[in-house]
């Protein structure tokens, strides 16, 4: 069954906005685990706008589900953190420092040599590696060539186009997902997935291993409650496997 990893970046955004420890990030991560999430995702950016490097050290010893650390492996501080923490999974995202959010996947052809080397470093440390890619079969083929364990499909375009034409929105993702399966790659997905578009995505790609969801889920929790929201998101995925 597809696993849900709750990205807690935006809880850290709220906490940082007043300089104290409210909301308590570690408590909310543990609550998310108790409410049914299969994992926790954090994305420590160089400017520590939300997740701080110290947060990752605070979370690691107390989490009981999977920890997924996302970030730009071209930042040595990020590489050092991941090798020190040794999470279940690291997701490599080619973000520039000043980006508002993640907005593109790796060019796995252009960066073949770099990715192959850095992936080997993390795999040698016993860490599962996922790399963030656009829904492009050439990039998926390139991902297999650099020997990543998984890819994470960048789903912003799917979310943006879903309402207007869900069949057209999902089409490149199904092709990319089929190519990943053909090449023996594990399959994750994330970015702008929400209660409206998640079930269709999981129904069309039933071999999806994991979705990581943060922004929309935390926003929904403001209205629907954190526990209820996590269970609503899980139900989108469970509905698919129950078909």
Ligand X SMILES: NCC(=O)COP(=O)(O)O
Residues in region 39-78 near ligand DXP by CB under 6 A:
43, 70
Instruction: Count CB neighbours of 146 within 10 A.
Output: 22
- Contact indicator for 25, 12 with CB cutoff of 8 Å: yes
- From candidates 21, 22, 34, 101, binder to ligand DXP by CB under 6 A: 101
Shortest reach from residue 103's CB to ligand DXP, in Å: 8
Return d(Cα 232, Cα 236) in angstroms, integer.
7
- Contact indicator for 36, 7 with CB cutoff of 8 Å: no
Shortest reach from residue 90's CB to ligand DXP, in Å: 12
By DSSP bridging, strand 150-154 and strand 128-133 are parallel
> Which residues contact ligand X by CB under 6 A?
7, 41, 70, 152, 190-193, 212-216
- From candidates 8, 93, 193, 217, binder to ligand DXP by CB under 6 A: 93
Spot the catalytic one: 33, 66, 152, 191: 191
End-to-end Cα separation, the chain, in angstroms? 12
Shortest reach from residue 242's CB to ligand X, in Å: 24
Show Cβ contacts of residue 121 under 8 Å, excluding neighbours closer than 6 positions.
79, 83
> Is 70 annotated as catalytic?
yes
Q: Would you list which residues are annotated within the binding site for 3-amino-2-oxopropyl phosphate? A: 7, 18, 192, 214-215
| Catalytic residue ranges | 43, 70, 191
């Amino acid at each position: 069954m597809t696993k849900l990893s709750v990205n807690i970046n935006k809880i850290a955004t709220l906490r940082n906005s007043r300089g104290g420890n409210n909301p308590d990030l570690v408590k909310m991560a543990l609550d998310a685990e108790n409410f049914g999430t299969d994992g926790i995702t954090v994305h420590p950016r160089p400017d520590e706008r939300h997740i701080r490097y110290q947060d990752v050290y605070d979370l690691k010893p107390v989490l009981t589900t999977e920890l997924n650390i996302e970030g730009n492996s071209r930042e040595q501080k990020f590489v050092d953190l991941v090798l020190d923490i040794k999470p279940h999974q690291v997701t490599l995202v080619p973000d520039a420092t000043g980006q508002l959010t993640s907005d593109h996947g790796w060019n796995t052809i252009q960066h073949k040599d770099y990715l192959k080397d850095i992936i080997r470093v993390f795999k040698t440390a016993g860490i599962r590696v996922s790399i963030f890619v656009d829904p492009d079969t050439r990039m998926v083929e390139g991902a297999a060539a650099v020997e990543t364990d998984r890819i994470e499909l960048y789903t912003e375009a799917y979310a943006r186009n879903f309402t207007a034409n869900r069949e057209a929105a999902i089409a490149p993702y199904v092709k990319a997902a089929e190519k990943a399966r053909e090449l023996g790659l594990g399959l994750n997905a994330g970015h702008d997935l929400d209660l409206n578009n998640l079930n269709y995505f999981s129904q069309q790609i039933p071999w999806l291993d994991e979705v990581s969801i943060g922004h929309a889920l935390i926003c929904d929790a403001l209205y629907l409650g954190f526990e209820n929201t996590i269970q609503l998101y899980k139900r989108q995925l469970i509905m698919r496997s129950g078909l």
